[in-house]
């Protein structure tokens, strides 16, 4: 099995190509999202962002699970 990465310049071309690939036998189409990166924020700037906050890991988990249930 081989894989192929294709980049399109616009949504219309992407949609046409995906529709075409869906019609082919033996072809599985999986769309992936391109991660966006903000070059103006470095990893070092993120260090300590939770400092002096009264939040535990359990609080974060509880909020995340509640959000998924809505």
22: its two tokens: 């869906």
Per-residue confidence (pLDDT) for residue 68, from 0 to 100: 56
Where do the structural domains in the chain lie, given as residue ranges? 11-33+41-69
Residues 8, 21 contacting (CB under 8 angstroms): no
Cα–Cα distance for residue pair 21/33, rounded to 1 Å:
18
C-alpha torsion sign, points 47, 51, 37, 3: positive
- Tens digits of residue pLDDT in 44-64: 888 888 788 888 889 888 888
Q: What is the pLDDT of residues 2-48, one digit of tens each?
A: 888 888 999 999 999 999 999 999 999 888 877 777 778 788 888 88
**pLDDT of the residue at 67:** 64
Whether the CB-CB separation of 21 and 29 falls below 8 Å is answered with yes
């Amino acid at each position: 099995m081989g894989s192929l990465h294709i980049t399109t310049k616009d949504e219309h071309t992407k949609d046409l190509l995906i529709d075409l690939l869906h019609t082919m036998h033996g072809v599985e189409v999986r769309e992936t999202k391109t991660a966006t990166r903000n070059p103006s924020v470095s990893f070092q700037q993120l260090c300590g962002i939770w400092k002096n906050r009264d939040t535990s890991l359990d609080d974060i988990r509880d909020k995340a699970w509640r959000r998924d249930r809505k």
